[in-house]
Structure 1
């Protein structure tokens, strides 16, 4: 139970970073193709 909560906390902490990384890569890809 505690492990699950720790995993959720880790995901909540990493999610914004992953979203930002995906957003930046998408912008770079569109600039490169454009």
Structure 2
């Protein structure tokens, strides 16, 4: 089980990475969720 804070942190990191990775930007967060 992932805590709420960790879940939010992960989502933020994924969005940040996606913003800096145009190659994988089309996948957004679907690959991590």
Please tell me the TM-score bracket, short chain as reference. 0.5 to 0.7
- Matched positions, count: 22
Flag the structure with higher helix content.
1
Q: CA RMSD in A?
A: 2.0
Greater Rg by CA: 1
Q: What's the TM-score, normalizing by structure 1?
A: 0.55
Structure 2 segments unaligned to the other structure (5+ residues)? 23-33
Q: TM-score, normalised by structure 2?
A: 0.57
Q: Which runs of 5+ in 1 are unaligned?
A: 1-9
- Displaced runs of 4 or more, over 4 A: none
